[in-house]
Chains A and B, each alone.
Chain A
């Protein structure tokens, strides 16, 4: 029993990231509101960021910033040469990913504003119904073509 608890506790970061990721995934596929979909995508991205940063962690490690000055004394240099630094590479990758997340969120919000100006609603059902009403011949044609192929 204690073995199972140890296994769960040793990998608690994966539990947290999977939970967050599934919250975002559910919001993306089940919610009809476009803003809520974007929020779900952001939660999903944040789960990935946490996953990467937790992979970089090393027990007893400190932030990957060298602790001595440029002309530090030898004694000080020797004292800090035993310091363990965490893995710096995931931090850099996630710095890139955060910027891309900001950019995608901004473009998504801009497109949602244009959609709202066009259709007067953010609900997926209303937008799709309005589109079908706007172009009945389009959806009718597509349906007939699909039936003809079958």
Chain B
């Protein structure tokens, strides 16, 4: 059983390495993810549009604020789920 698992893991890893040859090199400034115009917009306009110097915070709270609201709801729901499953005393 462990042999089958090992073979499956090695096959999947080999496929991922084979597919990874086409990906851009580490730190390549010409990579498609960095050349997309939205990145340039984020870096140059984040401070004038959001007023914060940390671009990650500007993205998190302003451009992707709806996503972050969902994320906070996810962690709140996880906390409530654990309370429902494990809370021992009656409230």
Contacts and interface: CB of A to CB of B under 8 A. Distances in A.
Direct contact of A and B (CB under 8 A): yes
Interface of A: 7, 10-15, 18-19, 21-22, 25-26, 29-30, 54-61, 64-66, 68-70, 84-85, 87-92, 95-96, 99-100, 102-104, 106-107, 110-111, 113-114
Interface of B: 1-2, 5-6, 8-10, 12-13, 16-17, 20-21, 23-29, 31, 33-34, 38-39, 42-43, 46-47, 53-56, 59-60, 64, 67-68, 71, 74-75, 77-79, 81-82, 85-86
Contacts, number: 128
A66 B53 contact: yes
Contact of B31 (A13, A55, A92): A55
- Which 8 A-B pairs have CB atoms at the shortest separation, nearest pair first? A103-B78, A59-B27, A30-B5, A14-B20, A10-B25, A64-B55, A22-B13, A66-B53
Contacts of A12: 26
B56 A91 contact: yes
Contacts of B39: 87-89
Contacts of A90: 33
Contacts of A26: 5-6, 9
17 contacts: A11-B25, A12-B26, A13-B26, A25-B9, A30-B6, A58-B27, A64-B55, A66-B54, A85-B43, A89-B59, A92-B64, A96-B67, A96-B71, A99-B71, A102-B78, A111-B85, A114-B85
Contact of B59 (A58, A60, A61, A92): A92
A115 B64 CA distance: 38
A57 B86 contact: no
Nearest to B86: A110
Contacts of B17: 14-15, 18
Contacts of B26: 10-13, 54, 57
Contact of B55 (A85, A102, A110, A114): A85
Contacts of B53: 65-66, 68-70
A102 B56 contact: no
Contacts of A29: 5, 8-9
A135 B5 CA distance: 30
Nearest to A64: B55
